[in-house]
Amino acid sequence: MSNLGQSRTEQDLKEAFAGESQANRTYLAFSAQADREGHPQVAKLFRAAAEAETVHAHAHLKALGGIRTTEENLSEAISGETHEFISMYPEMIKHATEEGHSEALRSFSLANAVEKIHAQLYQGALDSLGSNVVVDYYVCRVCGNTLEGEPDSPCTICSAGPKAFFKVD
């Protein structure tokens, strides 16, 4: 995205949003590691800080005018997910392959496959917007695959068993 025509404040808001969003995800990963190492108080602190970073990120996104109607938000999400699986991840997969970085290649490949599913789920939600149909979603802890309804077979992306999925509330 070009910065041409953007005010300095708009650029700052985008940078702050990205930084706060990354801090949230990083602190949640740090929290999980602290839990695995038997440091529940540190894990709780990381989760608290992650929540605070989310508050900041949402405020910056709102100031950017980045939260619109649900229909507009779904359309933007479809566009973003489609860009990721058509352009962004294929290029990253190419680089990881060329450089022999197998862990990055696996990470990018799994994410790429799941982004296609996200775009389809968003399109389905957009197509049925207003129908008030309630569906439960389940996410694979290994690859992020997202399903409508409880899985009864292995993940179609990474082959993890159905127990690898958790229900999203």
pLDDT in tens, 50-94: 999 999 999 999 999 999 999 999 999 999 999 999 999 999 999
Same domain, 78 and 58: no
CATH number at residue 93: 1.20.1260.10
Q: Strands of 146-148's sheet, edge to edge? A: 146-148, 137-140, 165-168
Same domain, 102 and 79: yes
Q: How far apart are CA 110 and CA 153, in angstroms?
A: 18
1 within a domain of the structure (yes/no):
no
Same domain, 23 and 55: yes
Same domain, 97 and 121: yes
Report the 10 Å Cβ neighbour count for 19: 14
Q: How far apart are CA 132 and CA 68, in angstroms?
A: 20
- The pLDDT tens digits of the residues spanning 21-56 come to 999 999 999 999 999 999 999 999 999 999 999 999
Same domain, 158 and 140: yes
Name the band, by pLDDT with cuts 50, 70 and 90, for residue 1.
very low
148 within a domain of the structure (yes/no):
yes
Residue 132 has pLDDT above 90, yes or no: no
Q: How far apart are CA 103 and CA 4, in angstroms?
A: 36
Q: Residue type for 106, please?
A: R
Q: How far apart are CA 157 and CA 87, in angstroms?
A: 19
pLDDT > 70: what percent of the chain? 98
On whether the CB atoms of residues 140 and 165 are closer than 8 A, the answer is: yes
Q: Identify the pLDDT of residue 152.
A: 96
Cα 138 to Cα 84, 119, 146, 155, distances in angstroms: 21, 16, 6, 11
Question: DSSP of 91-109, one letter per residue?
Answer: HHHHHHHHHT-HHHHHHHH
Same domain, 79 and 104: yes
51 within a domain of the structure (yes/no):
yes
pTM of the model: 0.89
Same domain, 156 and 121: no
Q: Identify the pLDDT of residue 133.
A: 87
CATH number at residue 159: 2.20.28.10
155 within a domain of the structure (yes/no):
yes
Q: Which domain holds residue 76?
A: 70-133
For the chain, the domain total comes to: 3
